[in-house]
Chains A and B, each alone.
Chain A
Amino acid sequence: MALTPTLLLGGLERSLNALLARDPAAPARLERLAGQRLLVRLESPSLALALVYHAQGVDLMRQDDEPENAFDAVVELDPETLGELLGGASVERLMFQGRLAVRGHIPLLEATRDLLLDLDLDWEGELAHWLGDVPAHSLAEGIRSLGRWGLRTRQELCADVSEYVFEEARLLPGRHQFEGVRDHLTELEVATDRLEARLERLRRRLTTEGDGA
């Protein structure tokens, strides 16, 4: 059905713009972005999505037959890379790894990510509107402390697991060890190459001397 993606995109656009309208930092960012166009090509499912910024938000549109030069920046990525990008991985790292192809005005991609990920909604104010100031504040405090606890627990768990794996059980090499080994291997590779070249030179000399004699 031709309409389903359009309908989904319409819904996404509406919710996104509603969220952006609640973010106090968004108007200034949108002001800077207004009029810029970003094309995101997803490999699988094959999808070309245009993000067109305007002062109140962003228009999302499917673009199948538009030339690339109509956009300020074009991004090509696969779903995995998209996940990492939204997870906060740096754009440069993904580009150097060759998993993200960006053409055109690269800062536009970073600005887009900042806009979408740094959404700082004043949801406490919105709650206060419905519940009153005091209940909203205590509810918000509760949620915040729960969030802090979750974050701390996750960091501690990560730290514990990595310490066990790298230091106690020694199941995996640590980053320093890994880099040390890699440097040694590179050195070895260079040395082998030199040796090979030297042998080759000797062999050549032997053949020319053999011919001469």
Chain B
Amino acid sequence: MTPSDKRTTHFGYQEVPVDEKASRVADVFHSVAARYDVMNDLMSFGIHRVWKRLTIERAGVRPGHSVLDIAGGTGDLTLKFSRLVGPRGRVVLADINESMLRVGRDKLLDRGVGGNVEYVQANAETLPFPDNTFDCITIAFGLRNVTDKDAALRSMARVLKPGGRLLVLEFSKPDNALLSQAYDQYSFRLLPRMGELVAGDAESYRYLAESIRMHPDQETLKGMMEDAGLERVEYTNLTGGIVALHRGIKL
């Protein structure tokens, strides 16, 4: 047995071997891909659209830019980025999960997006792009599913052009105790039930709630981004810290 087989990582509240996490996460997303958008709207009461809007505003994407949307899932950010970069720019929608990528590609094609969008099935830890390729990288609600977050952040910093921005939109820790309580009740009691009713899959949504709790909080993630070589890292708490938007620049 090699040492890597013994190492474990968290999958929600369970400890699983490092090698297994990716395939377990993949199973979760294979199972929810088709109803991912509906569930997002239901679970966040539609606020996820506003969170993503703010991410796009902070991205500062201009015509001609290259943008990488990691864990872009069903293409919400890519849709808008493809308009912002115009015909001279390009947007790469990357996701590790084939089902999510396929749903995203179909949705974007249905919306008339093409030409400047590319689809890549890739692991965020080892991005298959040359150094200094992108003006902006976003990862929205994806980082917490990555097995080795530090490796993923380093890989993103590597493919970012100097002066480029990395934006991480991810669930975080609410700063208010009362909100935190209500949020816990909501995500551990209501959320799996909603998942069962709408997507027919309570387990995946239980994993979602657990993985959010295991994700590093605002300051820790900021430190991780700085360790990965990003500078001027700052974060904005959204909706009382349930979600935080981190932004770092490669100098």
Query: Are A2 and B238 interface neighbours, CB within 8 A?
Result: yes
The tally of residues in B whose CB lies under 8 Å from a CB in A reads 20
| B residues in contact with A7, CB < 8 Å | 50
| B residues in contact with A10, CB < 8 Å | 49-50, 53
What CA separation (Å) do A170 and B135 show in the bound complex?
Answer: 66
State how many angstroms separate the Cβ of A18 from the closest Cβ of chain B: 16
Query: Are A59 and B239 interface neighbours, CB within 8 A?
Result: no
- Given A10-B50, A52-B84, answer yes or no on A66-B60 (Cβ-Cβ < 8 Å): yes
Residue in contact with B239 in the complex, picked from A3, A37, A63, CB distance below 8 Å: A3
| A residues in contact with B87, CB < 8 Å | 35
Residue in contact with B63 in the complex, picked from A37, A61, A62, A66, CB distance below 8 Å: A37
In the complex, per-residue mask of B38-80: 1 if CB is within 8 Å of any chain A CB, else 0: 0000000001011101101100101100000000000000001
Residue in contact with B84 in the complex, picked from A6, A59, A62, A65, CB distance below 8 Å: A59
Q: Does B236 contact A (CB under 8 A)?
A: yes
| B residues in contact with A59, CB < 8 Å | 80, 83-84
State how many angstroms separate the Cβ of A26 from the closest Cβ of chain B: 16
| B residues in contact with A35, CB < 8 Å | 63, 86-87
| A residues in contact with B83, CB < 8 Å | 52, 54, 59
Q: Does A28 contact B (CB under 8 A)?
A: no
| A residues in contact with B63, CB < 8 Å | 35, 37
If over half of B's interface residues share one DSSP class (helix, strand or loop), that class is named, otherwise mixed; here it is helix
In the complex, per-residue mask of A58-70: 1 if CB is within 8 Å of any chain B CB, else 0: 0101110110001
In the complex, per-residue mask of B11-51: 1 if CB is within 8 Å of any chain A CB, else 0: 00000000000000000000000000000000000010111
| A residues in contact with B84, CB < 8 Å | 52, 59
In the complex, per-residue mask of B186-215: 1 if CB is within 8 Å of any chain A CB, else 0: 000000000000000000000000000000
In the complex, per-residue mask of A1-42: 1 if CB is within 8 Å of any chain B CB, else 0: 011001101100000000000000000000000010100000
What CA separation (Å) do A6 and B55 show in the bound complex?
Answer: 10
Query: Are B50 and A61 interface neighbours, CB within 8 A?
Result: no
State how many angstroms separate the Cβ of A8 from the closest Cβ of chain B: 10
What CA separation (Å) do A55 and B84 show in the bound complex?
Answer: 12
Q: Which parts of A42-77 form the interface with B (CB within 8 Å)?
A: 52, 54, 59, 61-63, 65-66, 70
Query: Are A3 and B57 interface neighbours, CB within 8 A?
Result: no
| B residues in contact with A65, CB < 8 Å | 60
What CA separation (Å) do A37 and B86 show in the bound complex?
Answer: 11
| A residues in contact with B80, CB < 8 Å | 59
Residue in contact with B62 in the complex, picked from A2, A62, A70, CB distance below 8 Å: A70
Q: Which parts of A98-127 form the interface with B (CB within 8 Å)?
A: none
State how many angstroms separate the Cβ of A64 from the closest Cβ of chain B: 9
- Given A59-B80, A61-B56, A62-B57, answer yes or no on A3-B50 (Cβ-Cβ < 8 Å): yes
- Given A52-B84, A54-B83, A59-B83, answer yes or no on A6-B53 (Cβ-Cβ < 8 Å): yes
| A residues in contact with B238, CB < 8 Å | 2-3
State how many angstroms separate the Cβ of B114 from the closest Cβ of chain A: 13
In the complex, per-residue mask of A152-189: 1 if CB is within 8 Å of any chain B CB, else 0: 00000000000000000000000000000000000000
Residue in contact with A2 in the complex, picked from B49, B54, B86, CB distance below 8 Å: B54
Instruction: Give the interface of A toward B (CB within 8 A).
Output: 2-3, 6-7, 9-10, 35, 37, 52, 54, 59, 61-63, 65-66, 70
Given contacts A9-B53, A59-B83, A59-B84, 19 further A-B contacts (CB under 8 A): A2-B54, A2-B236, A2-B238, A3-B47, A3-B50, A3-B239, A6-B53, A6-B54, A7-B50, A10-B49, A10-B50, A35-B86, A37-B62, A37-B63, A59-B80, A61-B56, A62-B57, A63-B57, A70-B62
The 5 A-B pairs with the shortest beta carbon distances in the complex, nearest first, are A54-B83, A61-B57, A70-B62, A6-B54, A35-B86
Instruction: Give the interface of B toward A (CB within 8 A).
Output: 47, 49-51, 53-54, 56-57, 60, 62-63, 80, 83-84, 86-87, 236-239
